[in-house]
Amino acid sequence: MTELMHANPARLDTSNLETTPLEAFDVMGQTSFPVDLEEWRLTIDGAVESPKTLTYADLLNRPIIERNVLLICPGFFAYNGFWTGFSVADLLKEAGLYNDATEVKFSGAAGFRRKKRRFPLAEVLSDQVFIAYQVNGQQLPERHGFPVRLVAEDYKGRRWVKYLNRITVS
């Protein structure tokens, strides 16, 4: 898949790509953020009627999304993973979006490496971005963002957020 390293994922037909074995996945950015699942929560706040705080167990009980999605870090790697997770759109609908909401910010690991990325609300509601807790049938490894990470179809890896813990609607 080295020929895809510089490609724009939004312009690729990935339907015939083989799934890359997880052992072959490399990573960019932060690779360690230990999480105590007894303490960890995913918070949904901002322009919503009912802010939510969910545990990992809450998230595992949600309806499942499963997709092969290509993760490209330009110049470094391209891996096609089979990602399992759940819909952000459903979470936001349950929280009750304000009429003037236009974008969603996803935030990961605290501290100086905290990563934040914004997406248009329409893309989030179409499930173009979703949250994964497994890759290739295995629990998401710590180096890949355990307990959950944002998967952003049609975007390069710099837009994906590892160690996700907050979703803020604005």
In this model, does residue 112 exceed pLDDT 70?
no
Residue 111 pLDDT level (bands cut at 50, 70, 90):
low
Coil, helix or strand at residue 4 = helix
CA 62, CA 74: separation in Å to the nearest integer? Answer: 33
Mind listing the pLDDT tens digit for each residue in 71-91? 988 878 888 999 999 999 999
Q: Over pLDDT 90: what percentage of the chain?
A: 66
Residue 16 pLDDT level (bands cut at 50, 70, 90):
confident
Question: Is beta strand 166-169 parallel, antiparallel or unpaired with respect to 129-135?
Answer: unpaired
Q: What is the pTM of this model?
A: 0.91
Q: What CATH code is assigned to 2-6+41-169?
A: 3.90.420.10
For tokens 């999480």, what's the residue? Answer: 35
In this model, does residue 38 exceed pLDDT 90?
yes
Coil, helix or strand at residue 21 = coil
